[in-house]
Amino acid sequence: MKKSLLSAAIALTLSANYAVADNHGGLMFEPGKDARFHWASYEALKSSNLKGQTISVFGPWMGSEKEHFENVIKYFEKATGAKVEYAGSDSFEQQIVIDAQAGSAPNIAIFPQPGLAADLASKGFLAPLDDKVEAAIKSDYAAGQSWVDLATFDNQNGQKDLYGVFYRADLKSLVWYSPENFEDAGYEVPQTMEQLKALTQQIVADGGTPWCIGLGSGAATGWPATDWVEDMMLRLYPASVYDQWVSNEVKFNDPKVVAAIEEFGWFSRNDAYVDGGAAAVAATDFRDSPKGLFASPPKCYMHRQASFIPAFFPDGVEVGLDADFFYFPSYESKDLGNPVLGAGTLATITNDSKGARAFIDFLRSPIAHELWMAQTGFLSAHAQVNPELYVTETARKQGEILRYATTFRFDGSDLMPGKIGAGSFWTGMVDYSGGKSAQEVGDSIQKTWDALK
């Protein structure tokens, strides 16, 4: 109840701040007055002297997300004198290519996936960022080198440049559970993968079922298993191997990848470990699979899924009270730190100007992150932001996982060619859940990849 009351109090405070926004010239919080914010990074904007300039920004955010982002933009406009025009579209991926090819691209484009940005960079449609920005990301972002690597692409000449700043992140490396069920059974949250496997076995020994796993998703059936494999790749090998796998330098039928698929199988192909048995994994819709956590008695004790999954919890389940999560742990024996799998939006320059450069600098500053954190629906990998500004305890905890990640990698299937990442990888994992060997599945996926060349 304390967590619930705390969240309610924060929400009421936020509402009060919105109510007096008009007293601050349309700003949510009066600059310099709330000590929780890094106002120094706001004050630094005033030296930009952009009065009279207009900066166009195009991205995927619509509805409430557009509103949240525009609330942040107002501070840039107030400090610099520039005008920022943001447009959101659910057809962003298609439209930005059309605009770039037509020579009518916005100053700033915000990509939901870095793969498309890499493609445009290779064709000369993105402007590279300078060494100062790269050094700042390495210094200011948690796992900074990872974020630099994810935004570094080949240019027209095949040389690598940094092209963007990640603003807003999503988290996938989570395991959801019922604190009440854990407490009743005397289970503790595991801190390592070895402990997670031991807990899995202990639950079975106690007569319970450890996991709920569902791969069903209509035409996209299979994708939840690709997240499992990606997380395992990051926990079994250094991030460089993960990168080589995503680019197919390490083949899908390589022993390393086969081993990662089999690690997923350790959890999913044992009838005693999964609600409904191994045969139910591919047949269960991913939106239904976490509901077993809240059955009475529980059908399972754990469910691995991204931060969005509470949207599919039964009505009345309150995150922080009835449901909670922990970091999908790494292997202590591998000594690879705390890798995190996720996603994020990448801000790039598609039409260069002084204002565009200043806006990129703004998006990588603490204040730009904190102003959205203080609304809702935003996770930041920025190491300098104040976590107290998260509106909910859930967001704060997820933000802490991002802050202390030693490696961050983007969802690998989203970076692979569509026929692989949204095709044979999905179907291959369904085949694996249906009984095919990891080697057979790896061979089949690699055959599809080879046919693309």
Where exactly are the structural domains of the chain?
2-171+342-410, 179-339+412-451
State mean pLDDT over 249-258: 98
pTM of the model: 0.88
Residue 332 DSSP one-character state: G
Q: Do domains 2-171+342-410 and 179-339+412-451 have the same CATH topology?
A: yes
| Cα 279 off chain centre by | 29
pLDDT confidence of residue 16:
42
Q: Given this model, what pLDDT does residue 22 score?
A: 47
Map tokens 């250094």 to a residue.
238
Q: Which residues touch 99 (CB under 8 Å, ≥6 apart)?
A: 58, 105, 106, 350
What is the reported pLDDT for 30? 96
- Tens-digit pLDDT profile for residues 307-333: 999 999 999 999 999 999 999 999 999
Q: Which residues of 152-181 are buried (b: 16+ CB within 10 A; e: fewer)?
A: bbeeeeeeebbbbbbbbbbbbbbbbbbeeb
**CATH code assigned to 2-171+342-410:** 3.40.190.10
The owner of tokens 């969802």 is 411
C-alpha distances out from residue 177 to 122, 320, 327, 337, Å:
43, 10, 11, 23
Handedness of CA 112, 282, 188, 297 (dihedral sign): positive
Cα radius of gyration (the chain) = 23
Instruction: Please give the pLDDT value at position 380.
Output: 95
The token duo for 110 is: 């915000």
Cα angle 442, 421, 284 (rounded to 5 degrees) comes to 85
Among 173, 167, 111, 171, which residue's Cα sits nearest to residue 373? 167
CATH topology classification for 179-339+412-451: D-Maltodextrin-Binding Protein; domain 2 (3.40.190)
- Distance CA(226)–CA(423), nearest Å, equals 11
pLDDT tens by residue, 207-228: 999 999 999 999 999 999 999 9
Using one digit for the tens of pLDDT, what is the confidence trace for 175-219? 999 999 999 999 999 999 999 999 999 999 999 999 999 999 999
